[in-house]
Structure 1
Amino acid sequence: YVLNGESLGVRSDCDYRLRVSAKNEIAEGAASEVVHFKTRSGLFAAPEDVRITIHTNGDVYVHFDAVYDRRNRDNLTAVTLLVFHAYTILLTIPPVDENSVWTAIERTQVSSNGTVELLIPKTAIQDASRYALQIAAKNGSHLGDKSALIEFDVYSSNGSSSRYDDKSKPIEDMSL
């Protein structure tokens, strides 16, 4: 965010209101109407269509479509390469509050249809537990926009597997 070669100090991931007026040594002109805008943290925004699949082997897969920030017009090849490192799973045990300890998991695959798949290996979770997760878009080493909080249950290892939507209700039996 630069105006006439000077950095304005505008931070990413913030809400701003902007009003402009002309000013010289004698007077200041009438101000424009206030415009509201939000700065983004990077190329990718938080996903909205997060789906969770718990496989019979105990691995948890998180699926969603990458949300490309179209205000940044990088070419599609770069976008495809960047999506491999564009998202992080943040995982914790509910209830979620200011004292929650979040674990970052970064194991990404991209399918041929553009769906992002993040793996939470069974070694990172406990049977018969409830978890909360968010998907965070990344900008380099910084986390940016985050998805809505999603809670899901991991059942004991009895051969069953369920898929959850963003309201954590079973919507389909995914037994293999």
Structure 2
Amino acid sequence: MFFQKSNLTLPALSPYLFAPAAMLIGIYLLVRCIILLRRVIFPRLRVRFPASAEPFTLTIPKSGRYVINVLIPPMTFFMGTSHFSARFTLATSPEGQSINYRSYRRGFFQVKRTDMSGKQAMPLGSFECATPGEISISCDNPETIRSNYQLEVSRHIPPLRLVSLVVATIASSTLAIGGFAITILWMTGRI
């Protein structure tokens, strides 16, 4: 017969051999997560300007959803939330076509950022930019924002994306640290 059963056996693989692979995969995923978290903390488009009734013109490089944040200086104790009642008028420049602005209220599902200098960015509202180009922003009631606060326009970060990114960072660091610990214990013969 041509088809005989062969008794080919593989050497027994130790489950600890998967630890170095888990460590390398964990390190790779952790580096990717840190890069993505850095983009959340330091977005590519981050235009800062003072709150005033005079229009401020900025260039939007991509279409999409953008957020107007209030920047609170570090070590600043703030009482009240008058800045949440700030109203903005947005228009394309130089055409003057109006852009809809959606104001936020205080809520739990908003992404607040703190940069390395300690400035906290709290979202006040968002707008959709259909096409890239220049837009002008003016605050209708600048007195609601304190004089030492600034405004900032940045890309919108969905809260679910941020939560999943934090969970992925925790999981990848656990994988990297656990894989490293098991590899060291296995190589020293303790397990």
Same fold (TM over 0.5): no
Report which of the two has the higher share of strand.
Answer: 1
TM-score, normalization by structure 1? 0.35
Tell me the TM-score normalised to structure 2 length.
0.33
Higher helix share: 2
Structure label with greater radius of gyration: 2
